[in-house]
Amino acid sequence: MDARWDALVTGASLATLDGEGYGAITDGAVAWKDGVLAYVGRRADLPASPATLATHAIEASGWITPGLVDCHTHAVFAGDRAAEFEMRLEGARYQDIARAGGGILSTVRAVRNADEAALYAESKPRVDALRGDGVTTLEIKSGYGLDYENERKMLRVARRFRDSSLDVRTTYLAAHALPPEFVGRADDYIDAAIQWLPRLHAEGLVDAVDAFCEGIGFSPAQTRRLFDCARSLGLPVKLHADQLSDLGGAALASEFNALSADHVEHTSEAGVRAMASAGTVAVLLPGAFHVLRETQLPPLDLFRAHGVPMAIATDCNPGTSPLLSLRQAMQLACTHFKFTPEDALRGATVHGARALGLHDRGMLRVGMRADLALWDIKHPAELCYWLGGTLLRRTFVAGLPSIAAPRH
């Protein structure tokens, strides 16, 4: 058996995120074997020359970070909602657009009218853009089908993006909006969504369960019923919580030991305390905050005071966050939420992984999965400093190289 490492990269600086600050190591070295990190440290501390230590020895410059984790997206959809963007700029409220048949339901119509091949083809440029900007783990939700066959179609398409260059996690979000055939019968629709879940889970299509707990979505009681079903199947839950109002969504999610509560602009201190007690991650979505021109900030100081980890995600979706760059989400978190660049990088790596229940990635540490991003930068703060542009040189996913996809 060959005891050498599979690959060893030397020369680049490392932002390990292991410990305080960036966990920076200049003139670093990182190696892996069978997709797992086997060495993280200074090149000067290697026990021998790189060529004798690894099958593939790679000399690099710039910085290496953990691969980025986008822990909240709706990247699989059809059509767009550019007209609604224009309407909001002219003064229409998101709630008014939704109640008039726009919003989520307009995307539902487009998804239902697309077959699986068309849905994949429309979604692929978005996934490629996220991957091409450093994402190595991507969560994709259903929620634009709102019936069994179309929710299944969305989850099947999302699963197709899981390959050697990207790890995809799929989340069942049938409780996203009330479809037209169930108008006035929200409880009946939740009954149907509960019936679909075991079938989709049995096909291996569901990693977690989510819901939109909001006045224009589903009530806490309805959400609880769906989460009871998820719990009976051993599936973890996440929740769109307290985005537009405080219905106690974050506290409800915490009752179920949710992986995350997402948006959380209106979460109360009681909700923050519940999240801290349950170990639930706050997933902040600055893209939606920016596009909707919100003014209600999430309770950032309370999250910090109570030790609630804060992840950053794109919320890539056609209506409220048409965002195709997790780096841009990181920059928006610095601008709107007063994150430091280090906060933002941790939010898109360490805490993003935790928000998906993944404890094998998100930092550079021996024993962790070899998900890496190599950047053409002189300091990690540049990941939040530059607005756009191509900074990524390549990624490695479980040790396998992936050339950055072209931007779309």
Residue list for the binding site for 4-imidazolone-5-propanoate: 81, 144, 176, 243, 320
User: Can you say which residues are annotated as belonging to the binding site?
Assistant: 72, 74, 81, 144, 176, 240, 243, 315, 317, 319-320
In terms of C-beta density within 10 A (0-12 exposed, 13-18 middle, 19 or more buried), how is residue 90 classed?
exposed
User: Can you say which residues are annotated as belonging to the binding site for Fe(3+)?
Assistant: 72, 74, 240, 315
Contact 65, 363 (CB under 8 A): no
Angle between helices 186-202 and 220-232 (to 10 degrees): 20
CA of residue 286 relative to chain centroid, distance? 12
Residue 400 C-beta-side C-alpha neighbours within 13 Å: 8
User: Can you say which residues are annotated as belonging to the binding site for Zn(2+)?
Assistant: 72, 74, 240, 315
User: Can you say which residues are annotated as belonging to the binding site for N-formimidoyl-L-glutamate?
Assistant: 144, 317, 319
